[in-house]
Structure 1
Amino acid sequence: MKFAVIGATGYVGSAVVKELAGRGHEVTAFARNTDKVWQNENVKAVAADVLSDGFAKELQGFDAVISAFNPGWSNPNIGADYSRGAAAIVEAAKAAAVPYLLVVGGAGSLYVAPGLQVIDTPDFPREIYDGADAARRHLADLLPRRDVNWAFVSPPARLGADAGFSEAKTGRYRLGQDDLLLDGDGAAGISVADLAVAIADDVEQKAHLYSRFTVASA
């Protein structure tokens, strides 16, 4: 199968590129700096600007597109930049008639109680609020849409070593929908390698069309 990964040099994007290529798929890795794209015979690195007028043409001919677009958590304009880029990617996917666009979002929009999302809890880090809120609003914009074949994945609260979890690949995970997954009394986690496994499984099967899902370590 042929897949495209937007944001292919980021934490999640690079792991997805490796997982898909390792399964023998043809992967086109879109990145601002192609020198940082993981090199493999199944991977084609392409320099791309998601805001360019011609980006829709770049998305034609794939079985699915994974958007791991993120303008950077240290970017002081992350909220506005994420919103603008994410919207452009969706419109490009629509114009290109992409069969399945999987957007990698955040955990902030998951629910910890009826009507209460992670992002609105008192302990949510203020320094990443703008980016998390932009991802939450992007999901809200996608939910009613049927003119583009979207899906949205939220990682768990603890993603990889930076969040106090593991970086080990087990190949196992469990699925959820809109609620934050737990491990005992605490938030569950997953390694980025296992998140990539879940993402690869999903795009191979186009398993969550028009819906959001979440994953955590099994």
Structure 2
Amino acid sequence: MRVLLIGASGMIGSRVATEARARGHEVTGVTRSGADGTERAEAADADAVAALAKGHDAVVLAIAPPRDGSATAPPLLAAGRAVLEALRQSGVRRLLIVGGAGSLEVAPGSRLVDHPDFPELYKQESLAQAELLELVRREAADLDWTYISPAAQIEPGPRTGAFRVGGDQFLTDAEGRSEISAEDYAVALINELETPAALQRRISVAY
């Protein structure tokens, strides 16, 4: 498949690119800088993204707000709206979104991000990602989207190919840990790209 990857230089995006290429997919990376052989474009520029997306089979949105206290929902929502419009302009229906864990439910009607012990450093980013999920649920009924939430802790690590796939509920292991390597998250994302099992819904991945 031909995949347009927005946010190709990030910690997760770079591993998605590696996994996709290892499986024989053609990846067009998009970054704000256009460095390292990527295409230069802002995710919030619908016309630019649409021009790049033409001829591709899927778009992966792998951007996140900064964690320096300036992260708010509107910039991420603007990018989300622009990408939805870009898909419609380009005729691409498949969208995979690298989401957040904060909106996962720890109990019915109770989100992880609303827990009093949720780290302040990640709160604004998590709230922004939750807004993006709601935007897609409301406004992307005409597209084949999947929003993929990682475990609470995601960082570089081994590619094992062994993990659990859930839905809206927060996944933990027997010791109460919620972890996934960025490499295995990328495996889960490309699995969903190749064999869609969660169209128009959110899934979560964790060990």
TM-score by length of 1: 0.87
Match of 2:149 in 1: 154
Match of 1:10 in 2: 10
1:151 deviates by: 1.1
1:78 deviates by: 4.0
SS of 1:143's partner is: helix
Which of 174, 188, 208 matches 2:178?
A: 188
Question: Does 2:95 align with 1:101?
Answer: yes
Q: Percent identity?
A: 36
C-alpha contact (below 8 Å) 1:4/1:29 kept by paired residues: yes
1:8 deviates by: 0.3
SS of 1:54's partner is: helix
Question: Does 2:29 align with 1:29?
Answer: yes
Which of 42, 45, 49 matches 2:42?
A: 49
C-alpha contact (below 8 Å) 1:7/1:69 kept by paired residues: yes
How many correspondences in the alignment? 205
C-alpha contact (below 8 Å) 2:6/2:59 kept by paired residues: yes
Match of 1:113 in 2: 107
1:22 deviates by: 1.0
Question: Does 2:66 align with 1:72?
Answer: yes
C-alpha contact (below 8 Å) 1:82/1:131 kept by paired residues: no
- Structure 1 residues 207 and 62 mapped into 2: Cα distance closer, same or farther (>3 Å)? farther
Q: Distance in 2 between matches of 1:48 and 1:147?
A: 24
C-alpha contact (below 8 Å) 2:71/2:128 kept by paired residues: no
1:72 deviates by: 2.4
Which of 67, 80, 83 matches 2:77?
A: 83
Give the letter aligned to residue 123 of structure 1: D
1:116-158 CA-to-partner distances (Å, cap 9, x unmatched) read 0001001112232222111111111222431222110000111
Q: Distance in 2 between matches of 1:176 and 1:7?
A: 24
Which of 147, 168, 173 matches 1:178?
A: 168
Runs of at least 4 residues of structure 1 off by over 3 A?
none
Q: Distance in 1 between matches of 2:49 and 2:165?
A: 32
Match of 1:41 in 2: none
SS of 1:14's partner is: helix
- Structure 1 residues 149 and 178 mapped into 2: Cα distance closer, same or farther (>3 Å)? same
Which of 129, 150, 158 matches 1:168?
A: 158
SS of 2:35's partner is: helix
Choose 112-121 or 73-82, whichever is displaced more. 73-82
Give the letter aligned to residue 187 of structure 2: V
Match of 2:19 in 1: 19
Q: Distance in 1 between matches of 2:111 and 2:44?
A: 30
TM-score by length of 2: 0.92
SS of 1:17's partner is: helix
